[in-house]
Amino acid sequence: MEKVSNEVKLESIKSFQSTIGKLKNALSQMTQKGANTTLVKKRLKACKIGLDILEYVWNQKQHNYTQTELADARSILTGLYPSIERVYGKLKTGSSPQRTLLDRRIKALGLAIQAIDDITD
């Protein structure tokens, strides 16, 4: 795994925590409305795994994920790129805070995918 600064590590962990919080809120709202929650549940699980794997690599925290769970999470996390890039492309000039948030989210996803690759090889 590439060397990253403590600042990038902290930003990546915060980014995943934020994403997980948003997904939990979305899941709650969708459940109340009776909407199909399958996709949100899969994304939530993948983001939790991504966060746990980063903490495993950087902070030696244990994880109990199988190779299949890691492969599924990797696939789902990779699949998030296009939607993030669409949002990024729609940003208006001068929306720097939102751009920074998306940059951090993209970086965090990349690092989690790289960490999963490293531990499943």
Residue 97 lies in a domain: yes
Q: What is the tens place of the pLDDT at every residue in 8-62?
A: 999 999 999 999 999 999 999 999 999 999 999 999 999 999 999 999 999 999 9
- Amino acid in position 66: T
Q: What is the DSSP letter of 62?
A: -
- Classify the C-alpha dihedral 50-54-55-61 as positive or negative: positive
Residue 1 lies in a domain: no
Q: Please state the rounded mean pLDDT for residues 69-88.
A: 93
Residue 82 lies in a domain: yes
Instruction: Count how many domains the chain has.
Output: 1
Residue 51 lies in a domain: yes
d(CA 85, CA 63) in angstroms, rounded, equals: 30
CATH number of 38's domain = 1.20.1440
d(CA 9, CA 7) in angstroms, rounded, equals: 5
Query: In this predicted structure, what is the pLDDT of residue 40?
Result: 97
Domain hosting residue 23, numbered range: 6-120
Q: Are 74 and 109 contacting, i.e. CB atoms less than 8 angstroms apart?
A: no
Query: In this predicted structure, what is the pLDDT of residue 2?
Result: 73
- Rg of the chain, C-alpha, whole Å: 15
Mean model confidence pLDDT for the chain: 93
Burial class from Cβ neighbours inside 10 Å (0-12, 13-18, 19+) for residue 19 reads buried
Query: In this predicted structure, what is the pLDDT of residue 95?
Result: 74
Query: In this predicted structure, what is the pLDDT of residue 58?
Result: 95
d(CA 42, CA 35) in angstroms, rounded, equals: 15
